[in-house]
Amino acid sequence: MKRSSWEKYQKTIPDDNFYYARSCIRQNFFPGSEAAFLKILKDDLGVDVFDDAKHTSCTGIGYHSDIVPLETIMTVVARQFSLMNEAGYKNMVSSCITSFGLYTEILSMWHHFPELEEKTHDNLKKATGRDFVKPECVVHSSDLIFHFRDRIAAKAKKKLVNSVTGRPLKVVEHIGCHYAKIFPTAGIGGSEFPYVLAGMVESWGGEVVDYPERRHCCGFGFRNYLVQANRGAPVANSRQKLESMAPYKPDFIVANCPGCTMFLDKWQYAIQQMEGVTYGADGHGIPVLSYEEMAGLVLGYDPWDLGMQMHQVSVEPLLMKLDIDYDESHKFLGNNGKYISRPTDCGL
Amino acid sequence: MMKNFGYTINTKRAIDLDKNDLSIAEEVMREVPSWSLCIGCGSCTATCTAGAFTDYNFRKTHLLARRGDIATLRKELDKCMLCGKCVLQCPRGVNTRGVIAALCRLLPQ
């Protein structure tokens, strides 16, 4: 890929005034990531971002599983916009790639079919007594970290560099399909050359791995993994990617989608348990980070505050490469200091 | 004993022409040139006597052989009785029986 290929695909990202829409699943799998995002934006960068307890799931999982009809999801999304108006914000920042894809898709549908937007106004009024104004801008939270990547680099306590060899860490970046494969103009770098994560990695001293299956889907989808018996196909997708990246010996994977991050992490455990195959060095897995966790480590956050003890693949080898001090005895203590119990050690 | 999660990992269906062995298909094509006329209509399979009693499918045999996906092909061919009814049925005049006979000879036992 030519380094300049992404440059013609750009989008406007505001500097301030964001209403934050959380993901419905991320807090289970990567519980510190959303808190880290808010802390980085508010405390480190001084950005006005509002975390609202009133908003709900966008119902994207139900929509993509053919359970939630289009009219219903449009009304749910309209309610989120209404809450944003109520809180006095103009821009929406979504934690989830699927929510981001849905907001973009619905705004596009309303643009091309104004009668759908009119009907949604009616539906929302009937259901909740509310009305809404569309946001001026919808961005994904990885867009914002990308947007502020140089400011983060200026405050960096660690670089993505192997502390022993002094060489840049080799990073596999994986972009969620709903980021730019639905609407290429909605993402930085479009669908073919997404630069949103690669930009962060390069700004913070790492080296991006360009491997054959770089743009392959992780297999998450929705309806195709909900039924347990069907999970052979999703896991085969992740395996395709892992087999393709393994020869390049990446130090870690970073992803910007809740499902991809979870899949690439947890399937390494499933594949190891089912087939005895691992993809990292010395029989271990390849650590999988969210971009907030990567930014948090760069900014010197404690890995256990970032929730990295909840990963399936152990992150300690990566922390050692980065020369990050961590207290092993605090790994499984929650914020209140209580023991949160530990998972079965699977050797990854 | 590996763990059972209630599903297995699907094998790849992608055709990797760098890895698949096309040499047998190329040899059969030289011996039975009419094979190149096949349009995959499935008439051979619809009228196959062996297919009425087993899951034998010449159309599938054709597809696997042309793709070089030969791992399971030998087992498939054993179901054919070589009756030749498919040859009479073929709208393109492919010597299907000749193709099967050549594959039987060329594929490792």
Query: Residue B65 maps to which CATH number?
Result: 1.10.1060.10
Rounded distance between C-alpha atoms, residue A250 and residue A318, angstroms: 11
The domain total for chain A is 2
Of A229, A275, A276, the CB nearest to B7: A229
B18 contact residues in A (CB cutoff 8 A) = none
pLDDT of residue A225: 87
Would you call B7 and A275 a contact, using CB atoms and an 8 Å cutoff? no
* Chain B residue numbers touching A235 (CB-CB < 8 A): 7, 9-10
**A274 CB within 8 Å of a chain B CB:** yes
The pLDDT of residue B93: 96
Tokens of A49: 């971002």
8 Å CB contact of B11 and A236: yes
Instruction: Kindly state whether residue A281 falls inside one of the protein's structural domains.
Output: yes
In a domain, A87, yes or no: yes
Mark yes or no for CB contact B10/A230 under 8 Å. Answer: no
How far apart are the CA of B12 and the nearest CA of chain A, in angstroms?
A: 7
Domain residues for the domain of B46 are 23-106
Same domain, A172 and A318: yes
Nearest C-alpha neighbor of A104 from the set A51, A181, A218, A37 = A181
Among A213, A224, A274, A346, the residue to mutate for chain B (most B Cβ within 10 A): A274
- Do residues A180 and A288 both lie within one domain? yes
Q: What pLDDT does residue A2 have?
A: 67
CB contact A348 to B (< 8 Å): no
Residue B1's closest chain A neighbor by CA? A274
Q: Could you identify the residue written with the tokens 């979504």? A: A94
Residue B88 lies in a domain: yes
CA pair distance B9, A275, nearest whole angstrom: 9
Among A141, A170, A185, which residue terminates a domain? A141
Please check whether residue A149 lies inside any domain of the structure.
Answer: no
Q: Which residues contact residue A252 at a Cβ distance below 8 angstroms, ignoring those fewer than 6 apart?
A: A169, A171, A172, A286, A287, A288, A289, A315, A318
The per-residue pLDDT string of chain A (348 residues; one tens digit each, 9 = 90 and over) reads 566 777 888 889 999 999 999 999 998 889 999 999 999 999 999 999 999 999 999 999 999 999 999 999 999 999 999 999 999 999 999 999 999 999 999 999 999 999 999 999 999 999 999 999 999 999 999 999 999 999 999 999 999 999 999 999 999 999 999 999 999 889 999 888 899 999 999 999 999 999 999 999 999 988 888 889 999 999 999 999 999 999 999 999 999 999 999 999 999 999 999 999 999 988 999 999 999 999 999 999 999 999 999 999 999 999 999 999 999 999 999 878 899 888 776 667
Residue A110 lies in a domain: yes
Q: In this structure, what CATH number is given to the domain that contains residue A35? A: 1.20.1050.140
Closest Cβ opposite residue A273 in set B2, B11, B12? B2
Tell me which residue range forms the domain holding A137.
14-141
Chain B, nearest residue to A346 by Cα: B3
Q: Does A166 touch chain B (CB under 8 A)?
A: no
Residues sharing a CB contact under 8 Å with residue A341, sequence separation 6 or more, in sequence order: A332
Q: Would you say residue B98 lies in a domain?
A: yes
Q: What's the pTM value of the predicted model, to 2 decimals?
A: 0.86
Instruction: Give yes or no: residues A210 and A113 share one domain.
Output: no
φ, ψ for residue A288 (rounded to 5)? -120, 125
User: Residues A226, A126: one domain?
Assistant: no
B3 vs A274: CB contact, 8 Å cut-off? yes
**Which candidate from A230, A271, A276 shows the least CB-CB separation from B9?**
A271
Are residues A162 and A26 part of one domain? no
Statement to judge: residues A136 and A227 lie in one domain: no
Per-residue pLDDT tens digits of chain B, which is 109 residues long? 588 999 999 988 778 888 888 999 999 999 999 999 999 999 999 999 999 999 999 999 999 999 988 888 888 999 999 999 999 999 999 999 999 999 999 998 7
Query: How deeply is A325 buried, as exposed, middle or buried, from its count of CB atoms within 10 A (0-12, 13-18, 19+)?
Result: exposed
CB contact under 8 A, A232 and B7: yes
Question: Cβ neighbours of residue A43 under 8 Å, at least 6 residues apart?
Answer: none
A163 and A131 belong to one structural domain: no
Q: What's the confidence (pLDDT) of residue A345?
A: 67
Tell me if B15 is assigned to some domain: no
Using the Cα atoms of residue A39, residue A45, residue A51 and residue A56 in order, give the sign of their dihedral.
Answer: negative
Nearest to B10 among A228, A233, A273 (CB): A233
Q: How many domains does the structure of chain B reveal?
A: 1
Q: What percent of chain A is modeled with pLDDT above 70?
A: 98
Q: Which residues of B touch A272 (CB under 8 A)?
A: none
Structural domain includes residue A8? no
